[in-house]
């Protein structure tokens, strides 16, 4: 496979966006996303030396790089960023993930914790127990964080479980809900509106501002889900507080 192409363009007057363009266009590509995190990591190190650069924000196949427009212009920023982007596109990726960055999340599947489990089973032609087994099977990657503090987009979800988002989003999804949509899965860190299908819930706090590192999941981590019996603590008390 040839290395991805690199596009580096202005995004407004105080950021650049680097896009890694793979052979499959917009398809979510694990290798491309690993290169994105490689680039975000090298930009963070560059930022330690050059505070004119802002914190990079990784997307699926992009890195947004803010810069201080009082201190530099887009050409200056591009000259700093482009070599790192080229290096990340061409780098040899490590064969295995760092096991120290694998997070295991216990999930209470189904029942009041996963009100959409039966619907997902019906839509996919699987038994609910199979949905659980398939969801808890793979090791997922944190493709990116967004939507809300600590909300990690995880994937790829096995093809058999790919279901569209709800036509009408819920006004409030309980904190800790484990959800799926398309080829992705996620855990809602806060009670927010949400359109993904809820199949379970965890008691772990995905975001806790009192922790030294408030977000349970960070860019580049890997995640495993582990089914546990019984209902979540949240299901038996205020359903919206995580």
Residues of this chain that bind other proteins (CB under 8 A): 9-15, 17, 19, 26, 28, 40, 54-64, 66, 69-70, 73-74, 144-153, 190, 192, 207, 209, 214-215, 218-219
β-pairing verdict for 222-227 and 102-109: parallel
Three-state DSSP class for residue 90: helix
Cβ neighbours for 2, distance < 8 A, ≥ 6 positions apart? 23
Instruction: Please answer whether residues 239 and 146 qualify as being in contact, where contact means their C-beta atoms are separated by less than 8 angstroms.
Output: no
103: which strand partners?
223
Give the nearer residue to other proteins in terms of CB position, either 86 or 214.
Answer: 214
Give the shortest CB-227-to-other proteins separation in angstroms.
Answer: 26
Give the shortest CB-217-to-other proteins separation in angstroms.
Answer: 9
Cβ neighbours for 11, distance < 8 A, ≥ 6 positions apart? 17, 64
Give the nearer residue to other proteins in terms of CB position, either 151 or 225.
Answer: 151
Of 161, 155, 150, nearest to 222 by C-alpha is: 155
What distances in angstroms separate CA 51 from CA 7, 67, 75, 77, 94, one per listed residue? Answer: 23, 9, 17, 12, 29
Give the shortest CB-124-to-other proteins separation in angstroms.
Answer: 23
Give the shortest CB-115-to-other proteins separation in angstroms.
Answer: 23
What distances in angstroms separate CA 169 from CA 27, 62, 66, 184, one per listed residue? Answer: 24, 27, 32, 16
Give the nearer residue to other proteins in terms of CB position, either 44 or 122.
Answer: 44
Give the shortest CB-122-to-other proteins separation in angstroms.
Answer: 26
What distances in angstroms separate CA 81 from CA 2, 106, 162, one per listed residue? Answer: 21, 39, 36
Give the nearer residue to other proteins in terms of CB position, either 77 or 117.
Answer: 77
Give the shortest CB-201-to-other proteins separation in angstroms.
Answer: 19
d(CA 98, CA 164): 32
Give the nearer residue to other proteins in terms of CB position, either 10 or 128.
Answer: 10
Give the nearer residue to other proteins in terms of CB position, either 22 or 110.
Answer: 22
Dihedral through CA 67, CA 72, CA 78, CA 79, nearest 10? -130
Give the nearer residue to other proteins in terms of CB position, either 59 or 114.
Answer: 59
Give the shortest CB-114-to-other proteins separation in angstroms.
Answer: 23
């Amino acid at each position: 496979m040839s290395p991805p192409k690199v596009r580096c363009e202005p995004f407004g007057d105080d950021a650049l966006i680097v896009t890694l363009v793979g052979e499959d266009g917009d398809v979510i590509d694990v290798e491309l996303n690993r290169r994105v995190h490689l680039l975000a990591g090298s930009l963070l190190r560059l930022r330690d030396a050059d505070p004119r650069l802002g914190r990079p924000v990784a997307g699926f196949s992009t890195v947004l790089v803010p810069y201080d427009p009082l201190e530099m212009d887009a050409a200056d920023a591009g000259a700093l960023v482009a070599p790192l982007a080229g290096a990340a596109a061409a780098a040899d990726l490590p064969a295995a993930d760092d096991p120290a960055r694998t997070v295991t999340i216990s999930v209470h599947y189904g029942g009041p914790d996963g009100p959409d489990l039966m619907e997902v089973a019906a839509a996919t032609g699987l038994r609910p127990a199979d949905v659980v087994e398939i969801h808890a099977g793979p090791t997922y990657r944190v493709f990116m964080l967004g939507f809300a503090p600590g909300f990690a987009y995880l994937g790829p979800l096995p093809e058999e479980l790919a279901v569209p988002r709800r036509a009408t989003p819920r006004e409030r999804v309980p904190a800790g809900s484990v959800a799926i949509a398309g080829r992705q899965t996620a855990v809602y860190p806060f009670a927010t509106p949400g359109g993904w299908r809820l199949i379970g819930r965890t008691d772990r706090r995905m975001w806790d501002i009192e922790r030294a590192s408030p977000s349970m999941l960070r860019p580049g981590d890997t995640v495993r889900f582990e089914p546990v019996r019984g209902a979540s603590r949240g299901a038996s008390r205020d359903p919206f507080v995580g």
